[in-house]
Amino acid sequence: MLKVHVRHVAIALSLLFVVITLGSLGLFLLGGGNYSFFETAYFALITVSSVGYSELPQMEKFPVARMVTVVLIVCGVAAIAFFQSTLTTLLIEGYIGKAFRSRVMNQKIAALSNHFVVAGCGRTGRYVVEELVATRLPFVVVDQDEAKLSHLAAELKMELLCVVGNATDDHVLIAAGVERASGVIAALPTDPDNLFITLSARALNPSSRIVSKVVEIENEPKIFRAGADSVVSPHRIGGLRLVSQLIRPRVTEFLDRMLRVTKNLRFDEVMVPESSEYANKILRDIPIRQQTKLLVIALHEPGDHYVYNPGPDAEVKAGAGLIVMGEPEDVAKLRTLFGASSSSSWTTTDSLG
C-alpha cells in the first residue's frame, strides 16, 4: 500500500514538472529571444504555484504568450492540486497512517490471551487462517512478507492481527503474544524454520500446544523432540486425500460439503474442566441438545481413551473432552455451558478430506 502511494506522488510530481517545462519552453520560443530560458522557467514556476509577481517584461507584445500563460495557469493549478492530494494521502494513509495502524494493532495483540499464533501465511498457512476465521477463534499471523499479509486480509475482507517479521526470531514471536498463546502453528516452507519456531515457542511458552508442518517425513522425529505436540505432513495428507477420493468418494464429498458448502459444520472438541457443574455427570443430565444442535460423536476420557458414539448413560468425567459435530456458534454455546476455554478447536479432515 505504501509503495502505491509513493508511486502516485512520483506521478504527480512528474506531471507538475512536465507542465512547468512545457510552459517554460513555450514562452521561451514565443518570446523571440527577449527572455532567457531561466526567466521563462521562473515565470512558469511562480505562475503554476499561484504566487506570481508580475508578467514578463513586454509580454503585451506577445498575445499568444498570454494565451500560453492562461493554459499554464489552468494546467498548473490542476497539477498542483493533484500533487498536494497525493502527498497528503502518502502522509496520512502512508507513513503516519501506517504508524498509527501499527500502534493500534500492537495494542489489540497485547490484549489477547489464549489465542493462536500462526507462523507463515503461505500456501499452507493461508488455509490455517481461513479455518480460524471460519471457527471465529482469535489468532495472530506472523510473516515476513507484508504484501502477502495485506493480500490475504483483502481476500478475507477483514483486518488481520499480524506481525511483520521472521517467525524464527524470539522477539517477533513475543510481539505476537506467544507467551500468552494457547497454541502455535509452524507453517513455514522449510523444516529447519519450523524446527526453530517449535524450539522457540516451547521455550517461551511451555504449556502451549504446538503443531508443526513437516515437508520431509524423516524430519518428523526431530520436530517432535524439539517440543511439537503434533506434526502434520502435507504430502501424507495429500496421499490420503487422493486414495479417499478413489475408494470412499461419498465420505469425502460429505466432508467437503460439511466444511465448505452446507452450514459451516465442524468437528470440534469441548473440554469439561473440573470446576464445571456438569463434571462427572452422565450425558443424559447435560442439556446439550436442549441448548445446542450439536451431535456428540465421541467422548475423550482422561488417559487418552475414546468412547465412540457414547450412550445417554455415559459418564462425562472431569477433564474429559466431548467430540462434537455442529456449527461454531453451537460449539461456543457448549463451551460457555461447561465454562471451558475456547482454544481447543480442531477439524478432523486429515485422513478423509
Q: Could you read off the pLDDT of 212-230 as tens digits, one per residue? A: 999 999 999 999 999 999 9
Same domain, 75 and 162: no
Same domain, 83 and 133: no
| pLDDT band (50, 70, 90) for residue 73 | confident
**Domain count for the chain:** 3
Phi/psi at 335 (5° precision): -60, -40
Tell me, yes or no, whether 352 lies in a domain.
no
CATH at 270: 3.30.70.1450
- Among 182, 209, 232, the domain boundary falls at 232
Is residue 262 over pLDDT 70? no
Is residue 2 over pLDDT 60? no
The answer to whether 139 and 109 have CB atoms below 8 angstroms apart is no
- Among 70, 91, 108, the domain boundary falls at 108
Spatial separation of the C-alpha atoms in residues 334 and 288, rounded to whole Å: 7
Is residue 261 over pLDDT 60? no
Tell me, yes or no, whether 247 lies in a domain.
no
Give the number of other Cβ atoms within 10 Å of residue 7's Cβ: 12
- Among 87, 108, 129, the domain boundary falls at 108
40 vs 188: which has the higher pLDDT: 188
Same domain, 125 and 95: no
Same domain, 88 and 48: yes
Residues 158-165 have a mean pLDDT of: 92
Tell me, yes or no, whether 244 lies in a domain.
no
Confidence (pLDDT) at 60: 60
Phi/psi at 236 (5° precision): -65, -45
If we measure between CA atoms, which residue out of 150, 170, 159 comes closest to residue 105?
A: 159
Q: Which amino acid is at 325?
A: M
Mean pLDDT of the chain: 84
Angle at 257 between CA 231 and CA 323, to 5 degrees: 50
Q: Pinpoint the alpha helices (H) of the chain.
A: 2-30, 37-48, 63-89, 96-110, 125-134, 146-156, 170-175, 191-204, 220-226, 234-247, 249-256, 288-291, 328-338
pLDDT tens digits for 101-144?
Answer: 788 888 999 999 999 999 999 989 999 999 899 888 899 999 99
Q: pTM of the predicted model, to two decimals?
A: 0.61
| pLDDT band (50, 70, 90) for residue 80 | confident
Q: What percent of the chain has pLDDT over 90?
A: 49
Is residue 92 over pLDDT 90? no
Is residue 291 over pLDDT 70? yes
| pLDDT band (50, 70, 90) for residue 347 | very low
Is residue 279 over pLDDT 80? yes
Confidence (pLDDT) at 253: 84
Place of cell 456449527: 327
If we measure between CA atoms, which residue out of 88, 19, 20, 32 comes closest to residue 59?
A: 32
Is residue 84 over pLDDT 50? yes
Confidence (pLDDT) at 28: 80
Spatial separation of the C-alpha atoms in residues 159 and 23, rounded to whole Å: 46
Confidence (pLDDT) at 143: 96
**12 is in which domain, residue-wise?**
2-108
Give the CA distances from residue 264 to residues 80, 260, 327, 329, in Å, rounded to whole numbers and listed in that order.
52, 6, 6, 10
Same domain, 92 and 200: no
CATH at 117: 3.40.50.720
Tell me, yes or no, whether 211 lies in a domain.
yes
